[in-house]
Amino acid sequence: MIIVRSVAAVAMFATVAGAYAADPLADAEMTKLASVSGCLTCHSIESGKPGPNGMAPIGPAWQDVGKQYAGKPGAGEFLTRIVLEGSSPYSSHWKGKVSGLSMPPNAVAITEGNARRLVDWILALGK
């Protein structure tokens, strides 16, 4: 009986995996992953939020990132590499729109798998 129940639980989980809350902005699990990975010290999730002390935000709001890369082939792979390895201040993608010049590498703080999960969520925010 216990075995049957856990099989059912696994099957339920499998159907839910990959889907976000009805409103992706309110996805508690992804918000928590972003928070424990240190991303939210520089990024807001929703567009139009001020940065620390009311200054321009350090990094782009993830909703804006999602819109910017919406429908671009390979965006998931491309952004995952940037998250892990950092961005170059010499070829800034958000120049003039944010106060940070570049993003430091995050590979010390997050695994590749979790970085990809966050990027997939960020892309879903732009839909």
Q: Residues with Cβ < 8 Å from 110, sequence gap 6 or more?
A: 37, 83, 84, 118
Considering the complex, state which of residue 9 and residue 106 has its C-beta at the smaller distance from ligand HEC: 106
Considering the complex, state which of residue 7 and residue 101 has its C-beta at the smaller distance from ligand HEC: 101
Considering the complex, state which of residue 2 and residue 91 has its C-beta at the smaller distance from ligand HEC: 91
Q: Residues with Cβ < 8 Å from 111, sequence gap 6 or more?
A: none
Distance in Å, CB of 21 to ligand HEC, minimum:
18
- Provide the binding-site residues for ligand HEC, judged by CB under 6 A: 37-39, 41-43, 58-60, 65, 79, 82-83, 87, 92-95, 98, 100, 102-104, 106, 109-110, 118-119, 122
Considering the complex, state which of residue 14 and residue 36 has its C-beta at the smaller distance from ligand HEC: 36
Under a CB-based contact definition with an 8 Å cutoff, are residues 36 and 120 in contact?
Answer: no
The closest alpha carbon to 82, from 93, 73, 66, belongs to 93
> Which residue has its beta carbon closest to ligand HEC?
100
> Hey, what amino acid is at 126?
G
